[in-house]
Amino acid sequence: EVQLVESGGGLVQPGRSLRLSCAASGFTFDDYAMHWVRQAPGKGLEWVSGISWNSGSIGYADSVKGRFTISRDNAKNSLYLQMNSLRAEDTALYYCAKGVGATLRYAFDIWGQGTMVTVSS
């Protein structure tokens, strides 16, 4: 079964850091681009970051550029999001998503169930 399972969310104070993980199974992980997408409570979807199959192409939304870092470990079938200098506006459900292809130019066909990040003092 193709599956993505996110972990690492929680309650964190503003200015602190958090690292999200996404464990993939049921497909050849290193054949596909991967992404993080977030959704603030009651709001729409916001693409956060994406990484190509070999980490050669990486992109970030302007709202997180310079604070968040995406990475992947193909040997461990895992995707990560290092989030630094967290702000209240980063509070959201964070989804891991699989691209249909190897580069960032493909739609997202598999999604995890998300991990909640709450930034509050």
Partner 1 sequence: IQLTQSPSSLSASVGDRVTITCRASQGISSYLAWYQQKPGKAPKLLIYAASTLQSGVPSRFSGSGSGTDFTLTISSLQPEDFATYYCQQLNSYPQLTFGGGTKVEIK
Nearest CB to partner 1, comparing residues 15 and 26? 26
Between CA 119 and CA 70 the distance in angstroms is 19
State in angstroms the smallest separation of the CB of 91 from partner 1: 17
Nearest CA among 119, 48, 43, 121 for reference residue 88: 119
CB atoms within 10 A of CB 115: 21
> How far apart, in whole angstroms, are the C-alpha atoms of residue 99 and residue 26?
14
**Closest approach of Cβ 10 to partner 1, in Å?**
20
CB of 6 to partner 1, least distance (A): 10
The two tokens of residue 81 are: 């999001």
Q: Minimum distance from CB of 68 to partner 1 (Å)?
A: 13
Nearer to partner 1, 44 or 66 (CB): 44
Q: Which is nearer to partner 1, 58 or 77 (CB)?
A: 58
| Contacts to partner 1 by CB under 8 A | 35, 37, 44-47, 50, 57-62, 95, 100, 103-109, 111-114
